Structure 1
């Protein structure tokens, strides 16, 4: 990550009057979004703005809180005087980081049983992560049902479609993979647990581990965790 990505500017734009934040890396963008900012994606840049319709006091509260949160995790923030603060807000790992830790467990797994255990957390039929995501889709659809704006019925139907026809397929496929791995009881042929022990044929006193060097991890883009089928349609 470039050093420049650790710096942001946050202030009121002299042309539009909007409170804008520019710069930062994906972690900084996530902090801004959790502080109430809305991402704006343009052809040559991505920045963040506060929602429309806020009064000046609420803009100041949200912007000041964003500055406090960013600086708490060592981001450099150049802020307008109105939003500058010496406060630092404690930073707690978000819910998504707990799910991302499941991926780390799979990367470190050496047996099919270990991966099956991780996938169970996603696919468990009562309280797995995917089922919970389906509940979120259903609850959001129900919220849009009587919200009153012309596009809202379409949004409700779209959420129901995604939950029933897209998320359900992802859940079904991943559950099948989990069950397949649970039956295999197989060691991965290219992975083994590191014991930090010297091999029996090693004569060098400086040797500390007989394991092969770790394979480089392929760079991947962040992806959303698959979701699960939602419960029954909200009552009309």
Structure 2
């Protein structure tokens, strides 16, 4: 990771008085969003702003909280003097980290049983992750019912459509994939577990394990000699 991606600036624009956060990487973006900032995605950059209509004192408190959170995990933050702080709040793994761990389990899986077990956490009927996600979408739709603006009923209908149609397609396909893997009950041919033992018949006694050698990096073909292209008429 480059040093540039670990640097952010949280300042008020002297011309527009907008409180903006610029710089960082996707981890920093998540911290900014949890602190209350709103992402703004442009063609050539992504930056963050405070919510519209926020009082100056509340915006300053939001920025100060963001500075503290970012510095607590090692980011270099340049900020206005009013946002500077020595606070370093404790950081905890977000809920998404538990879901991301399933991807690690799938990448490490050496049998179809192990892969099916990881997918079960997604597809379990009562308390699987996809069931919980559907509940979140439905609850967000219910929140928009009667919220008061003209677009709110449309947003509620759209969220229910996502929960009932798109998410249902994903869940159905993953359930089928999980069940198929559970029935196969076989090792992955390209992911045998390493025993870290070298057979007695091995030719290289200094080898650490009996795993096949890693594939060699693909080499590009040599370029034609200078002037070769001009020999053909």
Give the aligned partner of residue 89 of structure 2.
Answer: 89
- Greater RCO, 1 or 2 (C-alpha within 8 Å, sep 6+): 1
Deviation at residue 212 of structure 1 after TM alignment? 3.3
TM-score scaled by structure 1?
Answer: 0.88
CA drift of 1:214 comes to: 6.2
Counterpart position of 1:48: 48
Which 5+ residue runs of structure 2 have no aligned equivalent? 217-233
Instruction: Specify every segment of 5 or more residues in structure 1 that has no aligned partner in the other structure, as ranges.
Output: 217-236
2-structure distance, mates of 1:149, 1:169 = 31
Number of positions where the alignment pairs a residue of Structure 1 with one of Structure 2: 216
Q: Which residue of 1 aligns with 2:187?
A: 187
Q: Distance in 2 between matches of 1:4 and 1:190?
A: 38
CA RMSD of aligned residues (A): 1.5
Counterparts in 2 of 1:190 and 1:49: CA distance versus 1, 3 Å: same
Q: Which residue of 1 aligns with 2:70?
A: 70
TM-score by length of 2: 0.89
How far apart, CA to CA, are the structure 2 residues paired with 1:215 and 1:89?
A: 45
Query: Counterpart of 2:128?
Result: 128
Closer/same/farther in 2, CA of residues 114 and 85 from structure 1, 3 Å limit: same
Shift of the 95–213 alpha-carbon distance from structure 1 to 2, 3 Å rule, reads farther
Cα gap change, 1:214 to 1:63, in 2 (>3 Å): farther
Structure 1 partner of 2:99: 99
| Residue 89 to residue 110, structure 1, CA distance change in 2 (3 Å) | same
Tell me, yes or no, if structure 1 residue 210 matches structure 2 residue 210. yes
Larger radius of gyration: 2
- For the residues of structure 1 that align with 2:179 and 2:39, how far apart are their CA atoms? 39
